[in-house]
């Protein structure tokens, strides 16, 4: 149990999930004097420095008990069952984002249906329950498609590029409805983050470019190069519409495709701080983590101006083949004194996000070089 | 006991003292994956979120036991008895700053003697053990002087302006030697912060102006207005000399008087993060707290460039007459969305430092207005 702090007001935020997103809320919580409570699966989880309860987010009792000790419940991930969240709300617990909003981040089919209703631009898509339905979709879309499980996917998991229904025979056998989407011919991937309070105030950061490798975010450039003007306006308008129409509270990340013909299509939604917003810790007046805490507490939102003309965030994927990230500090920090290093305290493992680095400055080439150079010290090829 | 974190390297920093300086090391420690352990006097102390041991820094056993669980020992305050620190060093514990350096921040008489030997500019001063010695000093210095206890003073405590030895009759009766100093005719007070690694690397932030009220730091402007050029160079040279000659490791704060005839005289030394460096959390690429951790771990130091042309830090003194700082967030954060608020989690009490706010930007008048406006929401006149 976390000791009640001398003079603290009763402002206790409960985060379900103990990964790096919960961990990165700790500095913002310390600064603002907010008590952060985390429901983690294991005592060694990334956010273990916060007041930690060990429990299972899929277990009704664990979640209800955790919620009793906090003033508002929010999330490090989208995987809490909707029925548990609805029970929290019925019991009077403040849950942000609400289960009614969160369901659109949990279920990709519901998300596609709702965004289509709202007229928000999305790729061509179809609900798939049979091989025949997929065959029809493939015929109408050039013979290839992306198929996703409606629930449970992340970082490229639960996503396949297919050219035949045999490619997803195992998924079809399960019987859960699937989402088929056109293979979008995109120029690049962007992300628009906004934050919204329950009482309605909404703010946005600049739209960013997200560079993916093997289905995982590798780098983010903020703002997205050549985005000033119409592109930025449209991205902001899309994310604002989604946040308001879906009633999202806290941070909303809208992942976007910029097509070859310069349209923006919504790819994915996340209703929590997001990898494409990590640059804001060092690069914005208000980080996405501070903003998320302010938003879920219905406090006035902070300014989202950039501290540097360009910020580049590079993920540390995998980590060192031997030892820990900190073993590389003498070399990395010595070589790149301006770069900020974020270490998630996780065991290195192939492809795992174990940290990130951020650089900022006026010259994008130089900034990107610094961030990549620093990140390279922390990852070995066989784990990258 | 703090759970060992998954994948963490054995980098454990022990901080003696659980006040706001230890607390503000937490965000930097979380970012870098450093385990922060705090020896606090009470469980409700400001830094209680870190792994906290309750103990007395004046008790040999408490300090020795605390030191066993960490890789390096450093400080939130200067009050640990020198003999305990020397025993730690004899036992092979890494202590930064070392007791040989720290003694000059603990004992103002030793500091004056040493700085005078080094030729560092200081006010006229004398060692006082008798009323006659003070009378002589008063005669030589216009009939008034500042008298300080050699040890134990802070924030205006242990300091008196006197015109007669009867003003310090109680201190003379104790028998400990005192320090008498001329009443410097100063234009303003400045502070120069530097950080130094055991292996010698040293970096400096810009010299800042510190505005005191009732002997307590009220505001800091970074960099000090009209300091570019010679003033900044001399301030940096003085602090660098002090850090190198005294063998200081970690952050060193040198408080300076700028005299009416444009000389700089050393007022006080602190060998730890310092109130005049709080602006660096939001205003510098590397905050004094991150830098202190890097320095005491002998890691390469971070860049100390400014993020804004001007930063203004205003202390929250006393706090609200009723309730807590967080009760004022709706008004303060709503009115000043660019200002960063730091809440130390301390009970409001007259004159007590319970938090600070920092604003940054290109226009000093505007920045100072924002910071003062935000701070005003958090303090009521009767506690200010």
Residue of A nearest to B203 (CA): A337
Q: Which has more pLDDT, A41 or B155? A: A41
pLDDT at B154: 63
Neighbours of B323 (CB within 10 A): 12
More confident residue, B351 or A143: A143
Residue B319, token pair as written in the block: 């706090």
Q: Does residue A108 have a known ligand-binding role? A: yes
* Residue in B4, B30, B49 nearest the CB of A23: B30
Partner residue opposite B299 with nearest CB, options A324, A329, A348 = A329
User: What would the mean pLDDT of A291-302 be, rounded to a whole number?
Assistant: 98
Lowest pLDDT segment from A223-227, A246-250, A379-383, B96-100: A379-383
CB atoms within 10 A of CB B163: 12
Of the listed ranges A71-75, A122-126, A338-342, B51-55, the least confidently predicted one is B51-55
Structure tokens at A273: 């701080």
Residue of B nearest to A301 (CA): B337
Cα nearest neighbour of A282 on chain B: B285
How far does the CA of residue A124 sit from the closest CA of chain B (Å)? 40
Strands (E), A102-183: 125-128, 145-149, 159-162, 178-181
Residue B354 pLDDT? 95
- Residue range A303-322, pLDDT digits in tens: 999 999 999 999 999 999 88
Which of A30, A38, A45, A304 is best to mutate for the B interface (most B CBs within 10 A)? A30
Q: Give A2's contacts in chain B (Cβ within 8 Å).
A: 49
Q: A61 is written with which tokens?
A: 């009792």
CA A172/CA A168 separation, integer angstroms: 6
Question: How does DSSP assign B231-254, residue by residue?
Answer: HHHHHHHHHHHHHHHHT--EEEEE
- A-chain CB neighbours of B383 within 8 Å are none
How much is the pLDDT for B157?
A: 77
Distances (CA, A) of A300 to A92, A248, A282, A358, B123: 23, 16, 21, 27, 48
Residue A97 preceded by cis peptide, ω within 30: yes
Tokens representing B230 are 């010679």
Residue A340, burial from CB neighbour count under 10 angstroms (0-12, 13-18, 19+): buried
* CA-based nearest residue in chain B for residue A304: B338
For A132, other C-beta atoms within 10 Å of its C-beta total 10
For chain A, what percentages of helix, strand and coil (3-state, to nearest 5) are there?
A: 35, 25, 40
Mean pLDDT of chain A: 93
Tell me the nearest-neighbour CA distance from A51 into chain B, angstroms.
8
- The reply to whether A189 sits in an annotated binding site is yes
Alpha-carbon gap: B117 to the closest alpha carbon of chain A (Å)? 35
User: Which class does domain A186-383 fall in?
Assistant: alpha beta
Interface predicted TM-score of the whole assembly (ipTM), two decimals: 0.93
Q: What angle do CA A212, A214, A219 make, to 5 degrees?
A: 25
Peptide bond into B97 cis (omega under 30): yes
According to the annotation, is A157 in a ligand binding site?
Answer: no
pLDDT of residue A101 exceeding 60: yes
Is residue A230 annotated as involved in ligand binding?
A: no
Backbone angles phi, psi at A172, to 5 degrees: -65, -35
The beta-carbon neighbor of A7 closest among B30, B303, B347 is B347
Q: Rounded CA gap, B110 and B116, in Å?
A: 10
Question: From B302, which residue of chain A is nearest by alpha-carbon distance?
Answer: A337
Q: Which residues of B346-362 are buried (b: 16+ CB within 10 A; e: fewer)?
A: bebeebbbbbbbbbbbe
The residue with greater pLDDT, A363 or A381, is: A363
B275 marked among binding-site residues: no
pLDDT at residue number B153 = 67
- Average confidence (pLDDT) over A133-150: 95
DSSP B157: B
A residues 47-86 lying closer than 8 A (beta carbon) to B: 48-50
| Sign of CA pseudo-dihedral B4, B8, B10, B12 | negative
- Pull the structure tokens for residue A364: 């994008």
Per the CB < 8 Å rule, is A345 touching B8? yes
Is B27 in Cβ contact with A31 (below 8 Å)? yes
Cβ distance of A6 and B327 shorter than 8 Å: no
Q: Quick one: pLDDT band at residue A8, thresholds 50, 70, 90?
A: very low
CATH of the structural domain A124-181, one choice from 3.30.1490.20, 3.40.50.720, 3.40.50.2300, 1.10.3720.10: 3.30.1490.20
**Secondary structure tally for chain A: helices H, strands E:** 12, 18
- Which strands form B72-75's sheet, in the order they lie side by side? B51-54, B35-40, B12-16, B72-75, B94-95
B233: left (phi over 0), alpha (psi -120 to 50) or beta: alpha
Tell me how many degrees the CA angle B193-B199-B204 measures, rounded to the nearest 5.
20
Helix (H) or strand (E) holding A349: none
Overall fold of domain A12-95: Rossmann fold (3.40.50)
The residue among A50 and A3 whose pLDDT is bigger is: A50
Q: Chain A 297-356, CB below 8 Å of chain B: which residues?
A: 299-303, 305, 307-308, 319, 323-327, 329-330, 333-334, 337-338, 340-348, 354-355
- Of residues A319 and A337, more confidently modeled: A337
Cα-atom radius of gyration of chain A, to the nearest Å? 21
State how far residue B333 is from chain A, nearest Cα, in angstroms. 6
Considering only CA atoms, which of A72, A9, A62 is closest in space to residue A40? A62
Q: Is A139 on the interface with B (CB under 8 A)?
A: no
Q: Is B122 annotated as a binding residue?
A: no
Is B166 part of the contact surface with chain A (CB cutoff 8 Å)?
no
Looking at 3.20.20.70, 3.40.605.10, 3.30.70.270, 3.30.470.20, the CATH number of the domain B186-378 comes to 3.30.470.20
Locate the domains of chain A by residue range. 12-95, 124-181, 186-383
- CA dist A26 and A32 (Å) reads 10
The residue of B13, B24, B49 whose CB has the most chain A CBs within 10 angstroms, and thus the best one to mutate to test that interface, is B49
Q: Whole-angstrom Cα distance, residue B165 to residue B202?
A: 42
- pLDDT, block means (10 residues), chain B with 384 residues: 44 95 96 95 81 91 95 95 96 97 96 97 96 96 95 77 94 93 96 97 98 92 96 98 98 97 95 98 98 98 97 95 93 98 93 96 98 95 55
**DSSP 8-state assignment for residue A365:** H
């Amino acid at each position: 149990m976390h000791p009640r702090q001398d003079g603290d007001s009763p402002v206790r935020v409960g985060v379900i999930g103990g990964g790096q997103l919960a961990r990165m809320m700790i500095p913002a919580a310390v600064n603002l004097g907010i008590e952060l409570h985390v429901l983690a699966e294991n005592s060694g989880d990334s956010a273990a420095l916060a007041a930690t309860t060990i429990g299972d987010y899929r277990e009704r009792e664990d979640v209800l008990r955790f919620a009793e000790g906090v003033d508002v419940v929010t999330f490090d991930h989208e995987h809490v069952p909707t029925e548990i969240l609805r029970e929290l709300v019925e019991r009077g617990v403040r849950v942000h984002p609400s289960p009614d909003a969160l369901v659109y981040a949990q279920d990709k089919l519901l998300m596609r249906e709702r965004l289509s209703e709202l007229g928000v631009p999305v790729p061509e898509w179809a609900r798939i329950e049979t091989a025949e339905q997929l065959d029809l979709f493939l015929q109408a879309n050039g013979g290839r498609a992306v198929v996703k499980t409606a629930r449970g996917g992340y970082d490229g998991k639960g996503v396949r590029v297919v050219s035949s229904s045999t490619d997803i025979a195992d998924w079809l056998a399960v019987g859960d409805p699937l989402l088929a989407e056109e293979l979008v011919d995109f120029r690049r991937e962007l992300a628009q983050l906004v934050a919204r309070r329950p009482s309605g105030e909404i703010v946005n950061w600049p739209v960013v470019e997200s560079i993916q490798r093997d289905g995982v975010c590798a780098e983010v450039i903020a703002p997205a190069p050549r985005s000033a003007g119409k592109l930025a306006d449209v991205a902001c308008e899309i994310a604002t519409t989604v946040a308001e129409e879906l009633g999202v509270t806290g941070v909303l990340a809208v992942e976007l495709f910029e097509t070859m013909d310069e349209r923006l299509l919504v790819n994915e939604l996340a209703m929590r701080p997001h990898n494409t917003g990590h640059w804001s810790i060092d690069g914005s007046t208000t980080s996405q983590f501070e903003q998320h805490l302010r938003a879920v507490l219905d406090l006035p939102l902070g300014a989202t101006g950039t501290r540097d003309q360009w910020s580049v965030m590079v993920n540390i994927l995998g980590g060192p083949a031997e030892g820990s990230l900190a073993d590389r500090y003498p070399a990395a920090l010595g070589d790149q004194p301006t770069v900020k290093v974020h270490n998630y305290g996780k065991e290195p493992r192939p492809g795992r996000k174990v940290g990130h680095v951020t650089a900022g400055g006026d010259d994008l080439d130089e900034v990107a070089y610094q961030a990549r150079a620093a990140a390279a010290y922390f990852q070995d090829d066989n784990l990258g």
